[in-house]
Structure 1
Amino acid sequence: MRPRPVLAVAFAPVVVLGLAACGPDDSPAEPATSAGTEAPAGAVGCDAADLPTLTSGTLTVGASDPFEPWYVGDPAGGEGFESALVYEVADRLGYAAEDVEWTSVTFEQIVSPAIKTFDIAAYQTTITEERAEAVDFSSPYLTSRQGVIVADDGDYADATGLADLAGAKIGVTASQTSLAAAEQAWGEDADVVPFSAAGDGMTALTSGTVDAMVMDVDQGVAASTVYFPDTSVVGTLPDAGEPEQLGLVLDKDSELTACVSAAVDELEADGTLDELRTTWLASDDIEQLS
């Protein structure tokens, strides 16, 4: 396992912690594919030697600051859910591990309509209609939920239902799915406090400024076990609208989209995605707050 100091920095307040979830005004969308292109029956029909990547014979992957559980250390190490996912997709397309090249990009560069410096990007990017106007998405590889994190020594450490948190001050990430989910869950029964980044909210939680923090449950598990060990995830919120799904990002109308989607579909069909979720994500046993 890679050293963790870099990851702790990645969870600092200046980083958005990969909470690239759609905001309240974003609508989930079906994964976009290249115009006029139907995904092949399986990625076996897509050969690396024939794929029009930026560099022939190389799959260039964009990612931003690494943090658990998505990346454990250097993305090239293959540890962490999205790092492992990328190498599985690459394998289905016929690329050896040494043919995968990583490049550092910002989240804004990933979702903008600008010319891409990567073939695919893997950075917890929610599929939305708005973003699909600027980029392509692969088939979804994860449906996420919003988790509620509390301090182990706080007044709400024993919360098991939404009513137990009535009157609490709830931190969320501004303009992200956590905001809409929290407002739907509690309405006027809680004081929802937006933060510019999840790290800011978690710092506020540990200092007692807020009573709970809402964020992607898998990231919340990592936050409570790696970065803020005196906190715990007590449950997840009911879904707010359509389920939030993550997809790999490609340039708009990329000739690679259909093949990348076919690779993700194969990983889902043969159980590989389930194995990756079991290995790297630890949220399966976290129940929804009633």
Structure 2
Amino acid sequence: MSLRRALLAVPALALAASACAPVDDEPTATVTDPASEPSEGLPSEEFVDPCSPEGAPLVTSGTLTIGTDSPAYEPWFVDDDPTNGEGFESAVAYAVAEQLGFSADQVTWVTVPFNTSYKPGEKAFDFDINQISITPARAEVVDFSEGYYSAAQAVVALEGTAGAEATSLADLQGLRLGAQTGTTSLTAIRDVIQPEADPLVFEDTNIAKQALKNDQVDAILADLPTAFYISAVEIGGSTIVGQFQVEGDAAEEFGMLFEKGSALVPCVDDAITALEADGTLADIEQQWLSDVVDVPTLR
């Protein structure tokens, strides 16, 4: 073979060899299980309990803000000082706070007038505790916790007056009756007793007590523990005529009040359930409200 013919044969052999080599039609993709690979750009976060001081939806971060009225009456509070942990509602509030993980110095109190607490709108507190009865009308614009106390209604009158002589609900119908505005005591007068004359309505319990002393009313109504304190401590010569339970919308069950839609409600519900289960709530009631049981029942 001539040199020229040999050189011409080399490219042809190379072409034939390349034609026989395997060729990938598409590049092969590597499939990896995402669960087996660390996430890039997504740092892992430790779980934070949404009911804890670190995770709860609070008005002020890290602080449980509780509202109540001023003055704060006994036996619910002692010495008009919600911060001392004394009195039924102060003790309950601090027990709930502790159950949620708050120390006493992580609790702060704000003054909230009773009549504004259950109005719609944004709240300056995480919850309010102030003998606020759970009612359907209020629950339309605010949220409530589970009830932490059920109270009967009671009638207070001055000894030796027509009010003190009543022995039944019917006996009260012809009397001048009064109660604080916005309370279930006022509802009980209108819906249960149904007096012949419209009840007198007072801005707060202090004014109602003064009206009783001034003979502007024959009797005033309040929840039983409050009535007991009025009679035993605040108004000399007064007596608790009797008590009665109210059914339906006027039933007296106290709940902690929240801004509508508050995510803190289930946390407080769980705390109340735990305090009921371990006997703490009963112990607090026994300590602060044990004297209210021996009162005649009006029927």
The bucket for the TM-score relative to the shorter chain is 0.7 to 0.9
Query: What SS is found at the alignment partner of 2:272?
Result: helix
Q: How does 1:50-89 map to 2 (within 5 A)?
A: 50-65=55-70, 66-73=72-79, 74-89=81-96
Structure 2 residue aligned with 1:195: 201
Query: Which structure carries more relative contact order (alpha carbon 8 Å, separation 6+)?
Result: 1
Q: How does 1:57-136 map to 2 (within 5 A)?
A: 57-65=62-70, 66-73=72-79, 74-136=81-143
Q: How does 1:186-265 map to 2 (within 5 A)?
A: 186-187=193-194, 191-197=197-203, 198-242=205-249, 243-265=251-273
TM-aligned CA deviation for residue 263 of structure 1: 0.5
Greater Cα shift, 152-161 or 226-235: 152-161
CA distance in 1, matches of 2:172, 2:114: 33
Structure 2 residue aligned with 1:286: 295
State the identity as a percent.
Answer: 37
CA distance in 1, matches of 2:176, 2:212: 10
Amino acid at match of 1:256: L
TM-aligned CA deviation for residue 273 of structure 1: 1.7
CA distance in 2, matches of 1:183, 1:113: 25
Question: Cα deviation per residue 1:89-135 (whole Å; 9 max; x = unaligned)?
Answer: 01101111111111222335422332221111111212222222322
Query: Is contact 2:153-2:252 (8 Å) kept?
Result: no
Query: Is contact 1:172-1:192 (8 Å) kept?
Result: no
Gap runs ≥5 in structure 1: 1-43
CA distance in 2, matches of 1:63, 1:209: 29
Query: What SS is found at the alignment partner of 2:286?
Result: helix
Q: Which has the larger radius of gyration?
A: 2
CA distance in 2, matches of 1:179, 1:110: 17
Structure 1 residue aligned with 2:38: none
CA distance in 2, matches of 1:101, 1:174: 27
TM-score by length of 1: 0.75
Greater Cα shift, 242-251 or 150-159: 150-159
Question: Cα deviation per residue 1:143-179 (whole Å; 9 max; x = unaligned)?
Answer: 1221011112324435433355464333334554323
Query: What SS is found at the alignment partner of 1:48?
Result: coil
Query: Is contact 2:189-2:199 (8 Å) kept?
Result: no
Q: Does 1:271 align with 2:279?
A: yes
CA distance in 2, matches of 1:59, 1:202: 33
RMSD after superposition:
2.5
TM-aligned CA deviation for residue 185 of structure 1: 4.5
CA distance in 2, matches of 1:238, 1:57: 40
CA distance in 2, matches of 1:46, 1:252: 17
Question: Cα deviation per residue 1:172-214 (whole Å; 9 max; x = unaligned)?
Answer: 34554323423455446x5453222333332232233322222
Amino acid at match of 1:57: G
Query: What SS is found at the alignment partner of 1:157?
Result: helix
Query: Is contact 1:185-1:237 (8 Å) kept?
Result: no
Task: Evaluate the alpha carbon distance shift between residue 175 and residue 64 of structure 1 in structure 2; reply closer, same or farther with a 3 A threshold.
Answer: closer
Task: Evaluate the alpha carbon distance shift between residue 88 and residue 238 of structure 1 in structure 2; reply closer, same or farther with a 3 A threshold.
Answer: closer
Amino acid at match of 1:251: E
Task: Evaluate the alpha carbon distance shift between residue 117 and residue 280 of structure 1 in structure 2; reply closer, same or farther with a 3 A threshold.
Answer: same
Task: Evaluate the alpha carbon distance shift between residue 164 and residue 117 of structure 1 in structure 2; reply closer, same or farther with a 3 A threshold.
Answer: closer
CA distance in 1, matches of 2:223, 2:252: 10
Query: Is contact 1:170-1:214 (8 Å) kept?
Result: yes
TM-aligned CA deviation for residue 288 of structure 1: 1.7
Query: Is contact 2:178-2:202 (8 Å) kept?
Result: no
Query: Is contact 2:66-2:125 (8 Å) kept?
Result: yes
Query: Is contact 1:116-1:251 (8 Å) kept?
Result: yes
CA distance in 2, matches of 1:165, 1:151: 14
Query: What SS is found at the alignment partner of 2:150?
Result: strand
